[in-house]
Structure 1
């Protein structure tokens, strides 16, 4: 009995396969991959995504045609954003911990290789010449093994030295995903995907179908993610990290700080701001990209308020 299951917590997994039972080529053909860490077949990046029903059903039919008994169980209930984010953070921390441990192992391995390299030649006096021909062959072979071992130790050391940067990069990438401007662009992209799914659903023939179930699963997942990200944006707005700049308070010729640079406003639109580039064209950014404002209107208003208070 082979069971193909899908949940948003675990993704798409296959139970009941054995090595050499003929299932591997079939599953691989339909997009499944072997996960050594859990010793199961599954679909990559299927956790917290709608089930890929077409691939799952095609794999199940192919397995049945090959003589296997197969059951399929799909639970496409999306998890809330807080749970998804916490779960993803936990997995990232586990990977970072694993990387740190790997770095320690590589450092120890490098030290051992260099020690072994030195031990090979420590009994040879400094400056001892290598005799020509067969008389010096053993000496020459020993030197070559020592050099090869030292080179391998240096290669391993470079791998260990790269791991802290990989861990730091993982932290930066995770922090970037939580930035309000990145969240806003993600929401816009997902909302566009939902509109595309709605158009495709409208073109489908009436009645149930696997394609309709696939679209509806994708749509439900996207709506859950959008709702959670909008809650994060609202929290950032209340904390003053997002949403304080718009066409209501930004005017033509004002200066706005975008990606660390002050740029002059050419046009303030409903969802974007166009700024100068120093060339004949302009750049367009979403309002979530604006991190600062130098506005003569605001400065004049603040000055007038200050003078009134003084009077």
Structure 2
């Protein structure tokens, strides 16, 4: 018996599978992944999210068609936003630590690979002496060259692996801080609010047509997604309010800037022509102007182009 379960803390997983039982191709096709740490198949990014009912039902139907007995146990409740995001931050911290350890191992392996290459090069005749064909040293010389070439390739590959691991560790280390920057939170709230409005429009149409969550699976999914978005918007709005109310990081606003000052966006400075409700109009090198949203402004200077302007001050 295979059991597909969904809980807020564990996400969507399937129990009862075993290696070589034939379920892997079906689950891979349906978008499931194998979790080595949990030794089970799971739907990615399903923890503390609304269950993806259509994918679950599609997977169950495909498995039943292949001759497997499948049951489902779906918990549609959502945890409090603070608890959900706290746990996610802990997972991100653990992942960053694991990637940092991996990067250190890869760097050590790269150093060892270079040491082996140096040792192999030391065995070559000095001065780049050519191979003496027919001489008793020919075979030894060719073996030494082969070792030097092999260790050189291994060192290059080890360097690439170390750089890749170091970059992954660097990105993971700043992922949590990045998620909580005011600009990122602002854009997230804007995006989620737009998604919520779209869902509400669709639900209004379904209700007008006489559908309910009990009669329409799609409407049921929309209501679950709506509850998830409302929870997340409430959480992130509270985070932004706390940032604005304390000495935490803040966004630039209309009150901070004025025509004639300078703003920095993506490393480029622009002169402000007009200050609007949600953006500033800036001059360009051409005959037209551009608009920069406040959440894209990383820094600002007064009209003298030197005096810093701090948001909220």
Same-fold call, TM cutoff 0.5: yes
Matches within 5 A, 1:125-204: 126-127=126-127, 129-133=130-134, 135=136, 136-204=138-206
Distance 1:171 1:223 in 2: 28
Aligned to 2:308: none
Contact 1:13–1:41 (CA<8 Å) still a contact in 2? yes
**Which runs of structure 2 are paired with 1:82-161 in the superposition (5 Å)?**
82-120=82-120, 126-127=126-127, 129-133=130-134, 135=136, 136-161=138-163
The answer to whether the 8 A contact 1:256-1:265 is kept is no
d(CA) in 1 for partners of 2:111 and 2:227? Answer: 53
Distance (whole Å) between structure 1 residues aligned to residue 118 and residue 286 of structure 2:
61
Query: Which position in structure 2 is the counterpart of 1:214?
Result: 221
| C-alpha spacing 1:70/1:131, structure 2 compared with 1 (3 Å) | same
> How big is each residue's C-alpha offset from its partner over 1:130-163, in whole Å with a ceiling of 9 and x where there is no partner?
2215851342023212321133124313432454
TM-score, normalised to structure 2, is 0.81
* Residues 280, 85 of structure 1: alpha-carbon distance in 2 compared, 3 angstrom cutoff: farther
SS in 2 for 1:189: helix
SS in 1 for 2:131: coil
Describe the superposition over 1:9-37 as per-residue Cα deviations: whole angstroms up to 9, x where unpaired.
Answer: 22211110122222222222222222233
**TM-score (normalizing by structure 1):** 0.81
Match of 2:47 in 1: 47
Q: What value does the CA root-mean-square deviation take over the aligned residues?
A: 2.9
Q: Give the number of aligned pairs.
A: 293
State which drifts further: 31-40 or 48-57.
31-40
Paired residues of 2:185 and 2:240 also in contact (CA < 8 A): yes
Residues 124 and 145 in structure 2, CA contact (< 8 A), matched pair in contact too: no
Deviations 1:61-105 (A, max 9, x none): 221222222111122322333323322222222222222222332
Query: Does the 8 A contact of 2:30 with 2:59 survive in 1?
Result: yes
TM-superposed CA distance for 1:211, in Å, is: 0.8
Look up the SS of the partner of 1:195 in the other structure: helix
Query: What is residue 2 of structure 1 aligned with on the other side?
Result: 2
Q: Residues 96 and 243 (structure 1 numbering): CA distance in 2 closer, same or farther, change over 3 Å?
A: closer
Matched, 1:265 2:273: yes
| Structure 2 residue 286 is the aligned partner of structure 1 residue 282 | no
* Aligned partners of 1:250 and 1:268 also within 8 Å: no
**Cα pair distance change 1:288/1:102, threshold 3 Å:** closer
Counterpart of 1:223? 230
Q: Specify the SS of the correspondent of 2:46.
A: coil
**CA 1:123–1:258: 2 relative to 1, 3 Å:** closer
Task: Map Cα deviations across residues 257-310 of structure 1 (whole Å, 9 max, x no partner).
Answer: 3436353133523x3333333323332233444554748xxxxxxxxxxxxxxx
For residues 273 and 120 of structure 2, the distance between their equivalents in structure 1, rounded to whole angstroms, comes to: 69
**In structure 2, C-alpha distance between the alignment counterparts of 1:83 and 1:138, rounded to whole Å:** 66
Name the SS of the counterpart of 2:126 in structure 1.
coil
> Following the alignment from structure 2 to structure 1, what is the Cα–Cα distance between the partners of residues 58 and 233?
30
- The answer to whether the 8 Å contact 1:242/1:288 transfers is no
5+ unaligned residues in a row in structure 2: which ranges? 304-313
Q: What residue in structure 1 maps to residue 309 of structure 2?
A: none
